[in-house]
A and B are shown apart, each in its own frame.
Chain A
Amino acid sequence: MCRIGLSLCSIGLMLACSMASTAMAVEISRQDFQGAVGMCKASTPAYNASLRNRPLGMANESSSAVYVTCNWQGDDTQNGTRGARRVFVVVGNTSTAPKTVACTLVNGFQSGTTTVATYTPKTVTVAAGAAATIAWVPGDIAGGTDQIKLPALSCNLPGGTTLQYTGKQYNEDVGA
């Protein structure tokens, strides 16, 4: 009788443990760092002539502004967790005057000729010789999303500015 009771207890404990392990998926916060040259490029071939691609940044060495386009990795799975909790770019100013850098986060995709995307523009003024960060969080995008699922970027870099690096914070599901 006692042995049967113990066995039932063991089975119950095992069931409880297995149910707990499936219910308690653990997410760890990660941040990916990526130099701008690795994920950005001139928006049109004409802008290539103005850009210098260095290990530590994509620099506009001309006197006129250029447009560049970047893409982060996203997550479009329905219950995926790897969409961004924050994306950011760091821009530097190597000139002797303050410069305004304008970027718009493009969250979405294109299907054929149909564009399904939300544009969230931001600007930052960078002091001479300094650097500044432009960041986006899910709250910047209307619609109640908790992640930026398909992030891409368009930036206008005035002459003398450098797109230095980019970052993405996301959660990774590491199981129980």
Chain B
Amino acid sequence: MIFPLAFVGALVVAVLVMRPKMPNEPVAAAATSAAAPDASNKARSAAAMMAQDPLPQLLAQDDRVLEERTRYLAALEAAYRAEPVDSQWAAMTERALVDVSRGDALAATRIKPNAWSVQCHSRSCKMSAVFGDYDDAQDWANFFLTGTGGILAQAELSVRRDVGGTTHVLIFGARR
């Protein structure tokens, strides 16, 4: 009784496997199942690579980057305000920074900052300026900071577009 049933079952399987393919038939199941692990590996590999690639993460974190940067600059501002004033060092450093901003190299760029202000306390300086153009603001801030070696140990820069269309540059510089 079992033998005829097994024979019929084997026959059905053989017919299904050996039947001719139709022209519009999808890709063979065997090929699909063989390709599936490859595709899956590729997907895992891309995911692993994306986990290592900082750019998508940074772009995805755009809001968080801005938020953290704003918080950090606020902390720098608070630290700067809390510093006592070393009037001798402050005056000397302010003069040196203003000299950089008025030097030949920056003058040759023909980019002029508005409302340029430099104020130093005892360990840091706060500088700010307003520009009519965002790219000019970026360039001028980079060029200015390039010339501050020997005056500042390092600096943090914020370039922010204001609602009115102007761009506000804010720099906190640390004493050498």
Whether A associates with B in a native complex is yes
Check B145–A112 contact: CB distance below 8 A. no
Give the interface SS of chain A, mostly helix, strand, loop or mixed: strand
With an 8 A cutoff between CB atoms, is A52 at the interface? no
User: Which one, A32-40, A117-125, A168-176, is touching chain B?
Assistant: A117-125
Check A77–B154 contact: CB distance below 8 A. no
With an 8 A cutoff between CB atoms, is A114 at the interface? yes
| A-B interface contact total, Cβ < 8 Å | 97
CB contacts under 8 Å to A, within B40-70, are 52, 54, 58-59, 61-62, 65-66, 69
Interface residues in A, total, Cβ within 8 A: 32
With an 8 A cutoff between CB atoms, is B161 at the interface? yes
Chain A residues lying within 8 Å of B104, measured Cβ to Cβ, are: 64-65
With an 8 A cutoff between CB atoms, is A11 at the interface? no
With an 8 A cutoff between CB atoms, is A106 at the interface? yes
Chain A residues lying within 8 Å of B161, measured Cβ to Cβ, are: 113
With an 8 A cutoff between CB atoms, is B153 at the interface? yes
Check B147–A102 contact: CB distance below 8 A. yes
Q: 0/1 per residue, A95-125, Cβ < 8 Å to B?
A: 0000000111010010111111111111100
Closest to A134 in B: B149
State in angstroms the CA–CA spacing of A113 and B70 once bound together. Answer: 12
Check A120–B156 contact: CB distance below 8 A. no
Set A111, A141, A142, A156: member contacting B143, Cβ < 8 A = A156
Check B159–A140 contact: CB distance below 8 A. no
Set A64, A114, A142: member contacting B108, Cβ < 8 A = A64
Check B54–A76 contact: CB distance below 8 A. yes
Q: Interface of A with B (CB < 8 Å)? A: 43-44, 64-65, 67, 69, 76-77, 102-104, 106, 109, 111-123, 140-142, 154-156
A-B contact pairs, 6 of them (CB 8 A): A69-B142, A112-B66, A115-B138, A121-B151, A121-B152, A121-B155
Q: Interface of B with A (CB < 8 Å)? A: 52, 54, 58-59, 61-62, 65-66, 69, 104-105, 108-109, 134, 138-139, 142-143, 145-161, 174
